[in-house]
Amino acid sequence: MEHKTYYITTPIYYPSGNWHIGHCYTTVICDALARFHRMLGEEVFFLTGTDEHGQKIEKKAKERGITPMQFIDPLVSELKDVWRLLDISYDKFIRTTDEDHVKAVQEIYRRLYEKGEIYKAEYSGWYCTPCESFWTESQLKDGKCPDCGREVALEKEESYFFRLSKYAPRLLKLYEDAPEFLQPKSRVNEMVNNFLKAGLQDLCVSRTSVKWGVQLPFDKKHYSYVWVDALSNYITALGYAGADDSLYKKFWPADLHMVGKEIVRFHAIVWPAILMALGEPLPKQVYGHGWLLIGGDKLSKSKLDAVKAELTDPYALVKRYGADAVRYFLLREIPFGSDGTYTNESLLTRINSDLANDLGNLVSRTSAMIGQYFGGTMPARGREEGPDGELVAMAEGAFAKVRAAMDALDAPTALEAIFAVIARANKYIDETTPWLLAKDEGKRSRLGAVLYNLAESIRICTVLLKPFLTQAPVRILESFSCPADMGFEALGFGYFKGGEKVEKLPPVFPRIDVKKELAEVAALVAAERKANERPAPAKQQTPQKKAPIGIDEFDKVEIRVGEVIACEKVKKSEKLLHETVKIGEEVRSVVSGIAKFYTPEEMVGKKVLVVTNLKPAKLCGVLSEGMILCAEDEEGRLSLVSPERDMPSGGSVR
């Protein structure tokens, strides 16, 4: 058999925190495609990661008085948690701060510079000194810095430019000669009409004012422009311009860069031009998908506050409904290529109608009937009669439909084809009325044949569902005594021999009471909003003086040395860390508001001072049995207070 490879990428994500279900859209689609191609027997490389450089991050870290890495690390772990929860089967998670990537980007810049594709010139723009930012005339807000509203001055900065302008004709030709390069077709029109027709300008690809980036090897004052750094990840992840480029040789050019429509221009203009300049092959396809909308706008961090009535946090959603339900909604509900709307209600409706009613009922009814009428043993295949042929043909024909849809990257249509078989099987139960057949001993073999046909249809649909859902298929296959790794080789009708054990499954997707659930979610979201609305503590000028106390009063406070032995972020809170602290022989759970200043990894191993006789309290649902002492400066920045010399945990403080 021909050895086929499939290289698929998601964009690399800005570590912004506040992950929402819209962020999961690109990655879940890519995961379904990756799983589908693996099941076709192809060697798949599925890449995702984080885009960690640039001004925004430099600035945010500075505002918090921490290093960019201290700012980024916890957000990257959060993102990885989201992907773990959603069963995202990536083969590599690249971070643009990875040493290999940084070195390869430097090599890419060097090559472009040596080829004369990058040249030095002057960049002029409006400079905001406090923000260290250049702005173009049109970016200014009432002539002032759009970020901080302060005065700006016209300044010039020496920069390197990439000769993007000369690639306009080649890009136009590319879209014409290879229509599959940029899909859907509407994106080509956007690129041509909005950008290429007017001609391209050379692209400024270095900054001297933003130092959180890749330093240019031929001019150390300059740091890379974040998009060149970010786009390069698609090849540096494979070892391009590095010590071992065997993966690059194997997988490049990528089969698919899947991206949201707002970043198509970087992928369909800047990226191919860079590759052309490097003399490397172009990706086979860039697909610009639509957005998940909420209240008519793109679901985004800034919109979240306005639409708090909807639950959009992937942690909370997966916890409430399971990974399969969230994946299914994203893959099924949004017409591919166009925008789709997210509401809690539409998610719940999908879960109830498709997963609980159609799929869940079919599975539980069939397994229950095999249990009830055949003692949980699969009956033998019978002679075809009545509606059997139609069901068998539909089940056997589903793969071709799923394949055609997935070749067109159209997951909703693929799922529709599978659910059409599920609907047909449910109708088949009503037509064949197994409960009546069971009453007539003479119809026992017909009853067996009916249940056999249902079980086979379920098995085939379940195998076909494996790229889309990751948990229910395993449970269903196992309850029908099929191996969990059953693949597309087993799609022919007639796999069961008869005699296999069939277990009755509890509902795979319990039905949700939509009204009750929506009310609960609304209450949850309102409580969360209230918590976030609490005014930030006023800037402390000088610590407030407190009334004098006697030593006996101070003695009431018990402070002891503790060692942090484990630590994690409190989910749903930006501020709280949950530490496990060893205090002598005792181990306590402590919650403290220091997440903006310490990462969980940093906390582990630290000796801290803990107030140990405070009454226990629950913070965001997590038990806190003590308070870790911190010093605070006038900006509200916190620093842990630790014994100046190493002290054993449990030691008292007086």
Place of tokens 């191919």: 272
3 state SS of 230? helix
Which listed residue (28, 128, 174, 230) binds ligand MSP by CB under 6 A?
Answer: 230
By beta-carbon distance, which residue lies closest to ligand MSP?
A: 260
Instruction: Tell me the closest approach of the beta carbon of residue 38 to ligand MSP, in angstroms.
Output: 22
Q: In this complex, which beta carbon is closest to ligand MSP, that of residue 51 or of residue 324?
A: 51
Instruction: Tell me the closest approach of the beta carbon of residue 13 to ligand MSP, in angstroms.
Output: 4
Q: In this complex, which beta carbon is closest to ligand MSP, that of residue 304 or of residue 474?
A: 304
Single-letter amino acid, residue 178: A
- Tell which positions 9-28 bind ligand MSP, by CB under 6 A: 11-14, 22-23, 25-26
Q: In this complex, which beta carbon is closest to ligand MSP, that of residue 11 or of residue 213?
A: 11
Q: In this complex, which beta carbon is closest to ligand MSP, that of residue 288 or of residue 562?
A: 288
Q: Are 48 and 7 in contact (CB under 8 A)?
A: no
Q: Are 336 and 410 in contact (CB under 8 A)?
A: yes
Choices 68-76, 292-300, 447-455, 593-601; region in contact with ligand MSP by CB under 6 A: 292-300
Q: In this complex, which beta carbon is closest to ligand MSP, that of residue 92 or of residue 588?
A: 92
Which listed residue (228, 231, 391, 464) binds ligand MSP by CB under 6 A?
Answer: 231
Contacts of 491 (CB under 8 A, 6+ apart): 396, 399, 460, 463, 464
Instruction: Tell me the closest approach of the beta carbon of residue 232 to ligand MSP, in angstroms.
Output: 8
Q: In this complex, which beta carbon is closest to ligand MSP, that of residue 231 or of residue 577?
A: 231
Token output for 193? 């009409």
Residue 240 in contact with ligand MSP, rule: CB under 6 A = no
Torsional sign, CA 52, 53, 57, 58 = positive
Pinpoint the alpha helices (H) of 344-410. Answer: 344-350, 361-374, 388-407
- Tell which positions 298-327 bind ligand MSP, by CB under 6 A: 298-300
Q: In this complex, which beta carbon is closest to ligand MSP, that of residue 11 or of residue 379?
A: 11
DSSP state of 356: I
DSSP state of 358: I
Q: In this complex, which beta carbon is closest to ligand MSP, that of residue 291 or of residue 509?
A: 291
Q: In this complex, which beta carbon is closest to ligand MSP, that of residue 273 or of residue 640?
A: 273
Residue 292 in contact with ligand MSP, rule: CB under 6 A = yes
- Inter-CA distances, 556 with 313, 538, 551, 553, 559, Å: 42, 29, 9, 5, 10
Residue 263 in contact with ligand MSP, rule: CB under 6 A = yes
The per-type count for the chain, helices as H runs and strands as E runs, is: 24, 25
Q: Are 97 and 53 in contact (CB under 8 A)?
A: yes
| Parallel, antiparallel or unpaired: strands 5-13 and 256-260 | parallel
Token output for 299? 């679901």
Binding mask 177-216 for ligand MSP (x = CB under 6 A): ----------------------------------------
Residue 493 in contact with ligand MSP, rule: CB under 6 A = no
Binding mask 241-260 for ligand MSP (x = CB under 6 A): ------------------xx
Torsional sign, CA 371, 375, 380, 382 = negative
Q: Are 227 and 96 in contact (CB under 8 A)?
A: no
Give the CB-side neighbour count of residue 268, counting CA atoms within 13 A.
34
Q: In this complex, which beta carbon is closest to ligand MSP, that of residue 26 or of residue 159?
A: 26
Cβ neighbours around 484 below 10 Å, total: 11
Residue 291 in contact with ligand MSP, rule: CB under 6 A = yes
| Residues 281, 272: Cα–Cα separation, whole Å | 9
Instruction: Tell me the closest approach of the beta carbon of residue 628 to ligand MSP, in angstroms.
Output: 33
Point out which residues pair with 7 in neighbouring strands. 45
- Tell which positions 23-62 bind ligand MSP, by CB under 6 A: 23, 25-26, 51
Instruction: Tell me the closest approach of the beta carbon of residue 320 to ligand MSP, in angstroms.
Output: 20
Token output for 2? 């021909």
Is the peptide bond prior to 169 cis by the omega test (within 30 degrees of 0)?
A: no
Instruction: Tell me the closest approach of the beta carbon of residue 235 to ligand MSP, in angstroms.
Output: 11
If binding means CB under 6 A, how many residues of this protein chain bind ligand MSP?
21
Q: In this complex, which beta carbon is closest to ligand MSP, that of residue 14 or of residue 598?
A: 14
Instruction: Tell me the closest approach of the beta carbon of residue 96 to ligand MSP, in angstroms.
Output: 9
| Parallel, antiparallel or unpaired: strands 286-289 and 153-162 | unpaired
Residue 597 in contact with ligand MSP, rule: CB under 6 A = no
Q: What does the binding site for ligand MSP look like in residue numbers (CB under 6 A)?
A: 11-14, 22-23, 25-26, 51, 230-231, 233, 259-260, 262-263, 291-292, 298-300
